[in-house]
């Protein structure tokens, strides 16, 4: 089975750091309660304002199903209220060591 990686880059007000973390945890929990995945989620802070969130999915179908559900979740709305200028890329994991 091929893993799918979704990388989302966004900025947030440094004063909202705790909100970013709290709302992200709530969103991941809500998605996991309704769908399979993400199987892993890693958040990196690049600088005071810039974040990169990397989520791993078992398949493209799992990602697509979760994204359909995500649009209806209040946790997703709350998470993106503190995330500014989000951009996302999705790719197939081809090598991991």
The yes-or-no verdict on residue 2 having pLDDT over 90 is: no
Stretch (H or E) spanning 4: strand 4-11
Write down the mean pLDDT value for the chain. 94
Summarize pLDDT for 24-61 with one digit per residue, the tens.
999 999 999 987 779 999 999 999 999 999 999 999 99
- Model pTM score: 0.92
CATH class of the domain comprising 4-92: alpha beta
Cα 68 from Cα 37, distance rounded (Å): 13
Q: Where are the domains of the chain?
A: 4-92
Lowest mean pLDDT among 26-30, 67-71, 90-94: 67-71
Look at residue 50 in the predicted model and tell me its pLDDT. 98
């Amino acid at each position: 089975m091929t893993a799918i990686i979704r990388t989302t880059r966004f900025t947030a007000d440094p004063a909202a750091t705790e909100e970013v973390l709290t709302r992200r945890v709530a969103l991941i929990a809500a998605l996991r309660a309704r769908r399979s995945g993400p199987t892993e989620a890693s958040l990196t802070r690049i600088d005071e304002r810039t974040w990169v969130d990397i989520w791993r999915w078992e398949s493209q179908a799992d990602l697509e199903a979760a994204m359909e559900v995500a649009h209806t979740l209040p946790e997703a709305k709350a998470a993106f209220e503190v995330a500014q200028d989000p951009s996302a890329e999705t790719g197939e994991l081809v090598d991991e060591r």
